[in-house]
Amino acid sequence: MSDNEERDAFDGETLDLVVPGTLAGVRVDRVLSMLTGLSRSEAVGVVASGSVQINDKVVAKPSISLETGQHLVARLAPRPTGVVAADSSVEVSVVLDDDDFVVVNKAPGQVVHPGAGQLEGTLVAGLLALYPQIQHLADEGLCDISRPGIVHRLDKGTSGLLVVAKTPEGFVSLSEQLAQREMGRTYLGMVQGHVSEERGVVDAPIGRSTRTPTLMAVRSDGRTARTSYEVVSRLSKPHPMTLLRLRLETGRTHQIRVHLATIGHPVVNDLRYGQRRDKRLDEERFFLHSTTLTFRHPRSGETIISEAPLPADLRALVPADVVY
């Protein structure tokens, strides 16, 4: 995986923070889920394992509510480094199949590769069942052993297009295109509030938050990050929202989500970087979808353009008369 691509925001580390007022009264399992990306059931499992403490006392129940000023510590298992087992039960939606790569449409809630929050049922396991040859890419040291063929990734709550290499030539070419910012990645995102400008660019470096280490934040000493956007439609009901077309010029962890929250318009239902819950979407699902992926064919140099329409759960939030 290219060094400038998205990686797990919380991966085998220790969550250690003083509870801010914004989290007062929230259940401890809910806080763990919000801050680490774990599902609620996974967060409950962490509590049950005795890995969570409040003011140096082990938390016995996931339903305990936090209080401002408490010292919360949670320890998670590190990301696995072993070979991933193929799993034919994992659904993989193939958009384009080529000798050197495959473009897939990742489902919302699907984890790309094993991590601290999920070891089984990942997209990689399904890919290995369809394309066992991608394991050789890891065996040859081109990529992490638990991420064979993975050139870039999408967050669990994000759906849409992802390209996976199948050959060494494909992996090297696609990784270089990504690193040189030659790969086009376009998203549709619904954000809170009305974005006033018709289009713009958020050019703000991103690094790990010093206040909450499991989150990313805009930091002066962070890594260069640029996200361009244009307004597709402004909606007023049931509350003010704006549908944006977004283009990644870099690929930092949670880049789009951090940038949009920074300009005061967090992605709808993104509870890690926003606060408003939209009950029309599943709790761990936010309105962000990778719609278009553009890159050069690793061998022929032909321009490859793949597209994926909005899935049904996101279309339900867009009025029928909105053209996107």
Query: Cα separation of 268 and 242, whole Å?
Result: 9
Nearest partner of 306 among 134, 185, 181, judged by Cα? 185
User: What pLDDT score was predicted for residue 9?
Assistant: 44
pTM, 2 dp: 0.78
pLDDT for position 117: 58
Of the candidates 315, 186, 156, 196, which has an alpha carbon nearest to the alpha carbon of residue 247? 186
| Mean of pLDDT over the chain | 89
Output the pLDDT for position 209: 86
pLDDT at 223 over 80: yes
Residue 187 pairs with which residues in a beta bridge? 246, 290
- pLDDT at position 118, please? 62
> Residue 13 — very low, low, confident or very high, per pLDDT cuts 50/70/90?
low
Lowest mean per-residue pLDDT among 6-10, 192-196, 318-322: 6-10
Please give the CATH architecture assigned to the domain spanning 81-180: 2-Layer Sandwich (3.30)
- 183-324: which CATH topology? Pseudouridine synthase (3.30.2350)
CATH architecture of the domain covering 14-75: Roll (3.10)
Q: Is 137 helix (H, G, I), strand (E, B) or coil?
A: helix
Do the domains 14-75 and 183-324 sit in the same CATH topology, yes or no? no
Q: According to the model, what pLDDT value does residue 177 have?
A: 94
Residue 5 pLDDT exceeds 60: no
Residue whose C-alpha is closest to residue 137's, from 1, 294, 298: 1
Every domain of the chain and the residues it spans: 14-75, 81-180, 183-324
Q: pLDDT at position 2, please?
A: 37
pLDDT digits (tens, 9 = 90+) for 117-167: 566 789 999 999 999 999 999 888 888 888 899 999 999 999 999 999 999
The two counts, helices (H) then strands (E), for the chain are 7, 15
The pLDDT value given to residue 75: 82
Active site positions, annotated: 155
| Whether pLDDT at 1 is above 50 | no
Task: Determine how many CB atoms are found less than 10 A away from the CB of residue 43.
Answer: 26
Question: What mean pLDDT do residues 72-94 have?
Answer: 82
What pLDDT score was predicted for residue 214? 73
Reference 33, options 22, 45, 21; nearest CA is 45
Residue 285 pLDDT > 80: yes
Residue 77 pLDDT grade (very low, low, confident, very high; cuts 50, 70, 90): low
Distance CA 9, CA 284 (A): 15
